Structure 1
Amino acid sequence: SSGLHDSFARVPRTPPLSALGFVALSPTFGLRDLARMNPRAALPLLDVRVPEVYDRLDSISAHDFLTRIRFPEAAHHLAFEVFSRSFFADPRELSAAELVLMFHIYFLGSSEGLLFDVPDEPFPTALWDPLQRYLAGHGVDVRTRTPVRQVRPLPDGGLDVTTDDRTTRYDALVLALDSGGLRRVVGASPELGDAEWRAGIERLRTAPPFLVSRLWLDRPVAYDRPGFLGTSGFGPLDNVSVLDRWEGEAARWARRTRGSVVELHAYAVAPDADRGAVQAEALRQLHRIYPETQSARIVDERHEWRADCPMFPVGGYRDRPGVRSPDPAVMVAGDMVRTGLPVALMERAATSGFLAANALLERWGVRGQTLWTVPRAGRSAALRRLAALGAD
């Protein structure tokens, strides 16, 4: 909201030039700012190792870690707060280990940088419906909108899984649930796992609610607006997407009506907030950022509220389950699961799913999926030696 504007598209994609380019090209890092920084406190960024990063930095918040480094205040808002709020959390509550891991993935570990592949059609069309058809073609019974109420281990190593209308025996199970769903199922399944595992799951937290508002407007936004814009300092509004820039369904509607489709996200909303007021304020902030939308008529709108993302609080890493549970027939997957790999959120959910499947396939002597990952440690030997100075 101060007027600063940055783009990761211009940052070099080759580590460590990606990190150096981020600092050099960002308007938030002036020579005076760089002189004020505490380079020794920043050294852990240069050699992020998993899981050691959690041993070193899970005990402090992302906000306090950046304060210790003396990052410029503008950089706090323009870059790192946008990062931390993408975890659906206030940076004062988010573990510094997660923020630093994200820095490693995007700037020092991966040549992809902050560029993403996205589907060019809505997820049901591009991914979920074709996947369901593929699974059904292999004999899978896909049952959506079917809550699992309880899991009971059986003496022969199998499992009874109870839903609202039946109890069915299975040979193996993957609990791929959000934090709240995992707590509920494990809480209702007293014979599942052991006391320590169950206690850790009971302590898992869910991040505050978030809002996704999609607006169909009767006129286009300005032609030079980016497809995605992260924001800071605009009240509850965290980012704006112009969906007709990259999603086929929205693009066809926009061409047909000469309108546009805009999506607004608001993360880490206070649980007791007036939801109607948050929606109205997010729209008002859109008008500040893209003034041409102020005169647009809203043809249709959808507002989705959810509170199903994991919270990664300070000191919470030890409570998160690993892929393997105490029961060899039960695995856990999801974006809160410990994998031992440098992955975040969506990537962690997908990676843990593969790891869970691989672990179960081992029981039948079947080879699973080979997984590729960004390095588990810093890629540059020179930067690793520098980082070692900060550990002394």
Structure 2
Amino acid sequence: MFSPHTVVAPRPDLPQRVPDDRSSGKVVVVGGGLAGVTAATVLAERGLTVELLEAAPRLGGRLGTWPRTLPDGTEVTVEHGYHGFFRQYYTLRDVLRRIDPDLAFLRDVGGYPVESREWESEDFSDLPTTPLANLAALVWKSPSFRLRDLRKVDGREALAMLRYDPVRTFAEHDHRTTAELLDSFGFSERGRAMLFEVFAHSFFNTEQRYSAAEFLAMCHFYFTGNPEGLGMDVPTDQYAATIWDPFTRLLEKHGATVTTGARATMVVDGPGGWSVGVDGGPTRTARHLVVATDVPATRALFERSPAFATTGPRLAGQVAELPGGEPYVVARLWCRGDVDAAHAPFTGVTRERILDSVTLFHRIEAESAAWASRTGGSVIELHSYACPHDASRDDLVAEMRHELAGLWPEFAALEVLDVDAHLYDNAPGFDPGTHARRPGVVTDARGLRLAGDWVATEIPSALMERAAVTGVLAANDVLREEGVAPEPVRSIAPRGVLARARG
């Protein structure tokens, strides 16, 4: 039960590529993040004519990068923010093996503790990988789950974490908030803060507005149903060098066209397929369209598209009603001096008003490490996954720096030489009661598929893995229409270890 499950099986009885003379299979993919690049890669290697349109100057989406010149004249690459490449991201890893068969560009980040000013830090990564055994080990070793505290836990409610079912869980819990669910569990304040609240914030939502069903789905995917444990890898160098430049070369090798700086302005369905308007460029036409942009960009694209509410009335309504996630801020700091060597490369933070995580990039990324080694400095990223709506970027960064000094007093003595900070509002929201109206990959707009970490699928997944999964599923629907075998997909068990059989 705990080994990877084949969700989409290979079809050796079907052609693996479209015929070379097939002109009908042209595809436009809008959005050059993980979802769009995944869809484009699968389709291009199967022989379809693909153009990938990305509005930004570079590929990447929320894994994007950009250049920056530091005050000392050093040219560096800045990333959108830290991302953990978990071991159960089977689809993402299968896609990444296209550019590195051995995944040699990934390294184990090691332990990643959760820290608080109220309680001693805890590290939940060094646990057995088998579900149930990992839960027992967590309860046994963690001071957040002492016997006297466990006596107050409502076992019937807490077992919902082991009863995950992609249909029943949402029917029973999508109307509740995660805060209400955690209240019903009855865990201690420490246990709730050190594990559950950190977990909810990691999805760019607060427990006060995050669907309890979505939270249980994430518990299943990352912990209670995951046979890989909590092991997390990170790229050994910045994302442009390790991921996006290789993918650009791979796509072009397969004959795809990668066009950056090309914002799609509208999409129109006509007799010859889809027309995609491009800001400052010619209109593209294609039989198949994959929209792989974030929620705000997707909503704006459909609103700008004439008669789209008639072309895909259900999809237009669904996207218009989608909630957005909380605003989040990422700040990269180049400092003179370093923090204590005992700190982990990645640390989760709980019960601070703004600060949610700290990443020491000079201990995981080659470019940052080279700068730190040459200057005797450090490269520190501060991240708030769900920050107040009414705060400015500069105020949020100042508060994160203040909170980190409270956690790590030696940080206050460092001289910050440069700061690259951004406030974003493009994370998906998963509000209670919205699951039933969340669009999936296949839509009522003929020939238009969706992909992204906000798109609904019953395959257990989240964040980067959800982006990759929906990218493959979008490609597979195109391949199905073209009479070509699908790309196989693996995932963890679809249901929890205590889920009842459906009847």
Q: TM class, shorter-chain normalised?
A: over 0.9
| Distance in 2 of aligned mates of 1:250 and 1:170 | 42
| 2:335 corresponds to which of 212, 217, 229 | 217
1:173-216 CA distances to partner (integer Å, 9 max, x unpaired)?
A: 11101111111111222444432221111001211221111111
Q: Aligned runs of 1:268-279 on 2, under 5 Å?
A: 268-279=386-397
| Distance in 1 of aligned mates of 2:284 and 2:312 | 23
Q: Aligned runs of 1:298-313 on 2, under 5 Å?
A: 298-313=416-431
Q: Secondary structure at the match of 1:360?
A: helix
RMSD: 1.6
> TM-score scaled by structure 2?
0.74
Match of 1:285 in 2: 403
Match of 1:65 in 2: 181
User: Residues 313 and 444 of structure 2 are in contact (CA less than 8 Å); yes or no, is this contact kept in structure 1?
Assistant: no
Structure with bigger RCO (C-alpha 8 Å, 6+ apart): 2
Match of 2:129 in 1: 13
Match of 2:191 in 1: 75
What amino acid is aligned across from residue 436 of structure 2 in structure 1? Answer: R
User: Relative to 1, partners in 2 of residues 1:51 and 1:346: Cα closer, same or farther, differing over 3 Å?
Assistant: farther
| Structure number having the greater helix percentage | 1
Structure 2, unaligned runs of 5 or more: 1-116
| 2:486 corresponds to which of 368, 371, 382 | 368
Q: Secondary structure at the match of 1:310?
A: coil
User: Residues 175 and 182 of structure 1 are in contact (CA less than 8 Å); yes or no, is this contact kept in structure 2?
Assistant: yes
**Aligned residues, how many?**
383
User: Residues 180 and 205 of structure 1 are in contact (CA less than 8 Å); yes or no, is this contact kept in structure 2?
Assistant: no
1:212-260 CA distances to partner (integer Å, 9 max, x unpaired)?
A: 1111111121111101111112220001011122111111211121211
What amino acid is aligned across from residue 146 of structure 2 in structure 1? Answer: G
Is structure 2 residue 44 aligned with structure 1 residue 44?
no
Match of 2:235 in 1: 119
Q: Aligned runs of 1:127-166 on 2, under 5 Å?
A: 127-156=243-272, 158-165=273-280, 166=282
Q: Aligned runs of 1:149-298 on 2, under 5 Å?
A: 149-156=265-272, 158-165=273-280, 166-192=282-308, 193-298=311-416
Q: Secondary structure at the match of 2:176?
A: coil
Q: Secondary structure at the match of 2:235?
A: coil
| Distance in 2 of aligned mates of 1:57 and 1:190 | 38
Query: Offset of 1:39 from its aligned partner?
Result: 0.6
What amino acid is aligned across from residue 313 of structure 1 in structure 2? Answer: D
1:329-352 CA distances to partner (integer Å, 9 max, x unpaired)?
A: 110001111111111122111100
Is structure 2 residue 120 aligned with structure 1 residue 23?
no
User: Residues 51 and 341 of structure 1 are in contact (CA less than 8 Å); yes or no, is this contact kept in structure 2?
Assistant: no
Match of 2:9 in 1: none
User: Residues 88 and 268 of structure 1 are in contact (CA less than 8 Å); yes or no, is this contact kept in structure 2?
Assistant: yes
Query: Offset of 1:274 from its aligned partner?
Result: 2.7
Query: Offset of 1:155 from its aligned partner?
Result: 1.8
Is structure 2 residue 419 aligned with structure 1 residue 317?
no
Query: Offset of 1:313 from its aligned partner?
Result: 0.4
Of residues 351-360 and 112-121 in structure 1, the stretch that sits farther from structure 2 once superposed is 112-121
> TM-score scaled by structure 1?
0.94
Query: Offset of 1:327 from its aligned partner?
Result: 2.8
Instruction: Give the fraction of aligned pairs with identical amino acids, expressed as a percent.
Output: 35
User: Relative to 1, partners in 2 of residues 1:123 and 1:329: Cα closer, same or farther, differing over 3 Å?
Assistant: same
Match of 2:216 in 1: 100
Match of 1:329 in 2: 447
| Structure number having the greater strand percentage | 2
| 1:357 corresponds to which of 454, 463, 475 | 475
Query: Offset of 1:360 from its aligned partner?
Result: 0.4
Query: Offset of 1:124 from its aligned partner?
Result: 1.0
Structure 1, unaligned runs of 5 or more: none
